[in-house]
Structure 1
Amino acid sequence: MVASFSSCSSVPALVIVFSIYLSTFALGEAGDNGGFSVDIIHRDSLLSPFYDPSVTHFVRLQNAFRRSMSRANSLIHSAISPLEVSSQVVTDNNGSYLMKMSFGTPPVERFAIADTGSDLIWIQCKPCEKYYKQKPPLFDPNKSSTYRNLSCKSKECDLIAGEGRVCAPGTNDCKYSYYYGDGSSTKGFLASETFRLGSTSGRSVDLPNKIFGCGHNEGGSSFNDRESGLVGLGGGPLSLISQLKSSIGGKFSYCLVPFEKENVTSKLNFGGEADVSGDDVVSTPLVIKDPTTLYYVTLEAISVGNKRLPYKNSSKGVADEGNIILDSGTTLTYIEFDFYRNLESEVKKLIHGESFVDSEFFPLCYEPGIDVNVLVTVHFADADVKLKPLNTFFRRSKEAVCFAIVPYPRVVGVGIFGNIAQMDFLVGHDLEEKKVYFKSADCSKH
């Protein structure tokens, strides 16, 4: 949906609904390492506020693939040219998952994009200069007893670098500007506020004095009228993960349900609830590099059946460290074009049927009914992840079943491990140990 932008005077008269929880606990009371879990909702699921029953499942998939390509372009540009990208330019905001989050005292509940490729937490606020029309009313900081603007002299304001940080005349409050890779933007005041997350235990989690952007000027075309903002889950200093780092031991994990389970929520886990353990767990080093927002790991090879294909840098003869980004917001998995051609060739050898190219997105598809169940193993450094059939091929339309790993159209030196490849895996991030864990799971039951 293309957002519509208006002046504040055109805000419709709506009733504000407050989500007030009778049973709450502070993060320090949530268990070992502040352990708790929250629901996250795929934006195309039956449970999503975006769900449109008049749109077919396959059209929703097509929309997801278009968003995926836009997001991939943004992520890869940020990864390969971190010095060329302005410090306040961040990746495409059009993530795949939503979470409920309450802001202020008394708490006002909102849906926001949960994004592992972004850092700043922000919502639209009153008074506004320009905003995209959202169905929930704008957040009014004057009605919250716990809201306060941050000073330009604060250490938090220093985290907004370069031209993205401005001191407000007269008050010396910290103003921010963030520009997304798709051309959208948010501008406003950097502030502190109490957040509240509704955990899966039925008790809500209070997060006092957390930093967020109170947006007074939003622009661009990718925002939806049911979104109120964004919750950054990336590795940068202003993300929710970084702000909670000491309380949750630097741990978070998620378990993404497959697309066809449209009435089931996925889970986002923090602290003690984010532990990934068991005999079948594998782990790979988390590679820290610019931009620190993104989660990099090293892809060494991909096997098809018993055929192992090394993922090498052509000049070095070995895999580059941190050559692929783990991203829950990108639908497909993107790899180097030359490597993809070899991978596709090996997949075709094991499938008995005529393949075809379907649309601009998918170079390897088959008619439904053809057995496309081939074993694909992704070899990260120290971790072999055996993909399931749902991670490799999916029903794109009534006429096509397509490979979910696709080539990036040019040589870029970095790939993206997208959310189809991660579905029905418990994926854990430990920022203290600098590791990522994978465990096969039924995410609808996790």
Structure 2
Amino acid sequence: MGSSSLLVITLAIFHIAGSSLAAGDSFTVNLLHRDSVDSPFYDHSMSFSQRVGHALRRSFTNAKRYKTNLDGSIYQADLIPDVSEFLIDISIGNPSHKVLAIADTGSDLSWIQCNPCIRCYNHTGPVFDPKSSSTYRPVACESTTCKALSYTGTTCSATKNCRFSLIYGDGSISNGTVARETVTLCDRAIRNIVFGCSFINEGIFEPSWDGIVGLGGGDYSLTSQILALVPRKLFSYCLIPYPSTNPLSNKFSKIIFGYLDFGPKIVSTPLIQKNPKTFYFVTLEAISVDDTRLNISDDSNSSNTLEKGNMIVDSGTTLTMLPPKLYDDFETAVRNAISLGTTMKNPQKQLSLCYLGSTVTKLPKVTMHFEGADVELRRDNLFMTVDDDIICLAFAPTSDILIMGNLAQINYMVGYDLENNMLLFKPTDCEKM
């Protein structure tokens, strides 16, 4: 599972009808941050500072899962459930059964808890029963689909059906049958979506969610299966700021599948294809603070030198992760540019450069320089409110793969053009979409 990387968000989703969409058509889904007051994860007994602390811990846990092989490919060494920043609300089967699941941009195969539950975690809602659905079809173990999903530990059952088995880094497990089913999103129904119907689940799973929905770049993620029906292989999202100390109801981010006219003021950078296809890689060349340019190639203490595809764009990770030396130089440059002298301690201690927000009246111009695209960061991209009037730099050092987190993507329309292998950025007021 990945970072997955669009905030802990509830994707209040949509339904795709038929086998394809008309040229130029698209559909939009509401995204709800898991720390929103409308989220089923919202705990009224927790303070804002405590919720931020949990978000930061999830972010660091997410970042540690990405490891680099000797050949430069990326793998997830310690998959852990429930660290992503989004939930997705979909329906599955016929008649439809509503499912609330983790939306994970770092996973491909989706799975939900199903009856008969041989060993299941406690769940507050009804469990999907495949026998009650007229459109449920198990995948044969000798099929191309089953063989393509071998990375999930597929085996053959006694009935010759394809079985999957996922083992997470904390010891949690999920296994069951790979099947095809109708997924309903808003007012549209998508037929023959490949997913996992899980009959054995043990470990750290929240009672309020039913499973995991994969939104990665692999062939059998929900994203890829939907885009196969869309004339232009393009999906986009627009993330609103992290819930404030006084969260309001009915505040949603958006995800759009299909055609979208980005209009003027758009910049683009190549998406670099690597193994596995799950992750979305781009090339970060430098980051600048006002006129000071800090090149990533200058970080001689890091393996993440200037190479193609050195950064993952991950909406499921809150913070942006930089190589250690580059991070130190960047923090120093930001501190010198703000030049207040007095800093604050972060109540959670995970972030090192913090201020009283009311004292920071002017920020330096900070730009992330990608191959062919300069993305300027504004206040909500650069700093995160961690307590009443305390803001901290929303970046952290890492010795592993670099990550552009979701805070750096706030109030940008971010488009994934998978036909032309380009990532698009456009400044947008996402709350007014």
TM-score, with structure 2 as normaliser: 0.89
Show structure 2 runs of 5+ residues with no match: 1-11
For residues 326 and 34 of structure 1, the distance between their equivalents in structure 2, rounded to whole angstroms, comes to: 26
Amino acid at match of 1:415: L
SS in 1 for 2:193: strand
Query: Number of paired residues?
Result: 411
The answer to whether the 8 Å contact 1:116/1:328 transfers is: yes
The 5 A counterparts of 1:106-121 are: 106-121=95-110
* Bigger shift: residues 259-268 or 139-148: 259-268
Distance across 2 between alignment mates of 1:346 and 1:284: 25
The letter for the 2-side match of 1:420 is L
What is the match of residue 254 of structure 2? 267
CA deviation string 1:223-271 (max 9, x = no partner) = 2211111111101121012212321232111111111264301111101
Alignment-derived partner of residue 165 in structure 1 = 154
**What code does the residue aligned with 1:327 have?**
D
**1:201 corresponds to which residue?**
none
Structure 1 unaligned residues grouped into runs of 5+: 1-18, 199-203
Residue matched to 2:291: 306
- Classify the secondary structure of the residue corresponding to 2:49: helix
Distance 1:291 1:392, change over 3 A: same
Question: Taking every aligned residue pair, what percent have the same amino acid on both sides?
Answer: 39
Secondary structure at 2:368's aligned position in 1?
strand
Q: Distance in 2 between matches of 1:84 and 1:323?
A: 10
Which of residues 172, 176, 181 is equivalent to 1:193?
A: 181
Secondary structure in 2 matching 1:279: coil
How has the CA–CA distance of structure 1 residues 362 and 77 changed in structure 2, closer, same or farther, with 3 Å as cutoff?
A: same
Q: Give the partner amino acid of 1:300.
A: E
CA contact (8 A) 1:148 1:191 kept: yes
- Give the counterpart letter for 2:180 in structure 1: S
1:237 and 2:219 aligned: yes
CA distance in 2, matches of 1:29, 1:344: 48
C-alpha spacing 1:364/1:388, structure 2 compared with 1 (3 Å):
same
How far apart are residue 85 of structure 1 and its match?
A: 5.3
* Cα 1:348/1:276, change in 2 over 3 Å: farther
3-state SS in 2 of match to 1:244: helix
Which of 360, 363, 382 lines up with 2:372 in the alignment? 382
Report the alpha carbon displacement of residue 79 of structure 1 after superposing the two structures with TM.
6.9
Aligned to 1:69: 60
Deviations 1:351-405 (A, max 9, x none): 1222355344101112332216222111111010011111101221136310001
User: Distance between the aligned counterparts of 2:395 and 2:151, measured in 1?
Assistant: 37
Distance 2:282 2:74 in 1: 22
Counterpart in the other structure of 2:164 = 176
What is the CA distance between 1:318 and its match in structure 2?
6.1
1:29-178 mapped onto 2 (5 Å cutoff): 30-32=21-23, 34-74=25-65, 76-77=66-67, 93-161=82-150, 164-169=153-158, 171-178=159-166
Query: Following the alignment from structure 2 to structure 1, what is the Cα–Cα distance between the partners of residues 170 and 418?
Result: 28
Are the counterparts in 2 of residues 103 and 196 from structure 1 also a CA contact under 8 Å?
A: yes
Partner AA of 2:402 in structure 1: G
Q: Which residue of 2 aligns with 1:398?
A: 388
Are residues 1:253 and 2:241 paired? no
Q: Higher mean Cα deviation, 307-316 or 120-129? A: 307-316
Q: Which residue of 2 aligns with 1:286?
A: 271
Comparing 95-104 with 346-355, which one deviates more in the overlay?
Answer: 346-355
* Cα pair 2:30 2:252 within 8 Å, conserved: yes
Deviation of 1:348 (Å)? 1.0
Residue 442 (structure 1) aligns with:
429
Deviation string for 1:322-363 (max 9, x for gaps)?
A: 111101110111111111111011111111222355344101
Structure 1 pair 276/227, CA: closer, same or farther in 2 (3 Å)?
A: farther
Counterpart of 2:8 in structure 1 is none
C-alpha separation between the residues in 2 aligned to 1:60 and 1:137?
28
Give the secondary-structure state (helix, strand or coil) at the position aligned to 1:151. coil
Offset at 1:27? 4.6
Q: Cα offset for 1:317? A: 11
* 1:299-321 Cα shifts (integer Å, max 9, x gaps): 00101112111111639996111
Q: Kindly tell me: are residues 186 and 92 of structure 1, through their superposed partners in 2, closer, same or farther at Cα, counting changes over 3 Å?
A: same
**Residue of structure 2 in register with 1:16 after alignment:** none
Q: Is the 1:93–1:182 Cα contact (8 Å) retained in structure 2?
A: no
Q: Distance in 2 between matches of 1:430 and 1:335?
A: 25
Tell me which of 312, 318, 321 is aligned to 1:325: 312
1:119-170 Cα deviation digits (max 9, x unpaired): 011110001122221211111101111111111011111112157011002x
AA aligned opposite 1:235: G
Q: Structure 2 CA distance, aligned partners of 1:297 and 1:92?
A: 26
Is residue 19–residue 190 contact of structure 2 (8 Å, CA) maintained in 1?
no
Whether contact under 8 Å (2:138, 2:177) holds in the other structure is: yes
What letter is aligned with 1:131? C
Counterpart secondary structure, 2:118: coil
Sort the Cα spacing of 1:27 and 1:373 in 2 relative to 1 into closer, same or farther, 3 A: farther
Q: Distance in 2 between matches of 1:79 and 1:405?
A: 24
In 2, are the aligned partners of 1:90 and 1:118 still within 8 Å (CA)? no
- Residue of structure 2 aligned with 1:277, choices 252, 262, 265: 262
**What residue number does 1:215 align with?**
198
TM-score (norm 1): 0.86
- Partner Cα separation in structure 2 for residue 304 and residue 146 of structure 1: 55
8 Å CA contact retained: 2:285, 2:369: yes
SS in 1 for 2:287: strand
Residues 300-379 of structure 1 mapped to structure 2, 5 A cutoff = 300-312=285-297, 314=300, 319-353=306-340, 354-358=342-346, 359-371=348-360, 373-379=363-369
